[in-house]
């Protein structure tokens, strides 16, 4: 059977998008999802996202990592899904949708999508790293030699090591550029490699840098391998609220497979 798909990317984080409002996609076939995401034998993507109807909201997001397993929240994927929903005529310039971690509000203007992320009330500060959950778990640590650092080897070591072990964590390496600008490279759990961008990772880095007082700004610029993202937030009694992930989400092509 033929499957119509749409390809989107947000700062190089790329996704296969499928309109599943008719519920025809087999969501339990992990091998098929992994095949579609395979860069040699399938379409090729960091993940696959289904857009589905919702009883009271604009739509529902169902996200799979490229290994075929349904996963936790994907920030860039959420932004790309908002652009996809606009292309399908489901929304115009704003949306409220459900993802695995709850409700998200979003606004879209041109190819820039502003996505509201979850509030974060726990930021674990350790001696050499910070850990927090921004819809997905994220380990954040500094790396001065970020341009030449072997992200895949070191990221995998941390991702599979204690205390994360079987559950695993995404791993972000950070270099401070200015008080409001940081370079980020991310090893992504489920992709099991570096991705050009990670939205929940960029969000985690912005909040972590503020929590450990590397910045006093509440609008942070994140230079990722695939471009630039921004994260804005408010802080109330140690809780990060009104957190927004901002950046481009672009249609690449449509096809059948």
Whether the CB-CB separation of 123 and 207 falls below 8 Å is answered with yes
Report pLDDT for 122. 96
pLDDT band at 1 (very low <50, low <70, confident <90, very high): confident
SS3 assignment, position 98: strand
CA distances from 5 to 68, 114, 133, 158, 256 (A): 16, 24, 30, 34, 6
CA distance 35 to 33: 5
Whether 74 is a known active-site residue: answer yes
CA distance 170 to 129: 13
Domain spanning 123-243, CATH class: alpha beta
CA distance 77 to 249: 9
pLDDT band at 207 (very low <50, low <70, confident <90, very high): very high
Query: Of residues 50, 61, 74, 123, which has the active-site annotation?
Result: 74
Q: What is the pTM of this model?
A: 0.96
CA distance 164 to 195: 20
- Mode of pairing for the β-strands spanning 4-10 and 250-256: antiparallel
Q: Which residues contact residue 189 at a Cβ distance below 8 angstroms, ignoring those fewer than 6 apart?
A: 65, 71, 136, 137, 159, 168, 169, 170
Whether 198 is a known active-site residue: answer yes
Fold for 4-117+249-256, please state it.
Diaminopimelate Epimerase; Chain A, domain 1 (3.10.310)
Sequence ranges of the chain with CATH classification 3.10.310.10: 4-117+249-256, 123-243
CA distance 35 to 40: 9
SS3 assignment, position 76: helix
Query: Of residues 80, 106, 198, 211, which has the active-site annotation?
Result: 198
The size of the chain, in residues, is: 257
Give pLDDT tens digits for 11-54: 999 999 999 999 999 999 999 999 999 999 999 999 999 999 99
> Is a pLDDT exceeding 90 seen at residue 95?
yes
User: H helices of 128-253, where?
Assistant: 151-160, 199-211
Give pLDDT tens digits for 150-171: 999 999 999 999 899 878 999 9
């Amino acid at each position: 059977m033929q499957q119509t798909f749409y390809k989107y990317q947000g700062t190089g984080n790329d996704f296969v998008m499928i309109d599943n409002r008719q519920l025809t996609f087999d969501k339990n076939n992990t091998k098929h999802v992994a095949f579609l995401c395979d860069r040699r034998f399938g379409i090729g993507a960091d993940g696959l996202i289904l857009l589905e109807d919702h009883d009271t909201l604009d739509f529902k997001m169902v996200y799979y990592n490229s290994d075929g397993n349904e996963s936790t929240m994907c920030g860039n994927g959420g932004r790309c899904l908002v652009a996809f929903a606009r292309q399908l005529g489901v929304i115009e310039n704003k949306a409220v949708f459900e993802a695995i971690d709850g409700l998200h509000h979003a606004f879209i203007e041109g190819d820039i999508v502003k996505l509201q992320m979850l509030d974060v009330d726990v930021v674990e500060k350790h001696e050499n790293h910070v850990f927090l959950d921004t819809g997905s778990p994220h380990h954040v640590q500094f790396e001065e030699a970020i341009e030449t650092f072997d992200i895949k080897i070191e990221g995998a070591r941390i991702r599979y090591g204690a205390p994360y072990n079987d559950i695993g964590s995404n791993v972000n390496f950070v270099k401070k550029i200015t008080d409001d600008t940081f370079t980020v490279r991310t090893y992504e759990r489920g992709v099991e490699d570096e991705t050009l961008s990670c939205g929940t990772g960029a969000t985690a880095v912005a909040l972590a840098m503020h929590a450990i007082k590397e910045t006093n700004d509440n609008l942070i610029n994140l230079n990722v391998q695939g471009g630039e993202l921004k994260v804005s937030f408010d802080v109330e009694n140690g809780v990060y609220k009104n957190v927004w992930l901002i950046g481009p989400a672009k249609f690449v092509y449509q096809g059948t497979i």
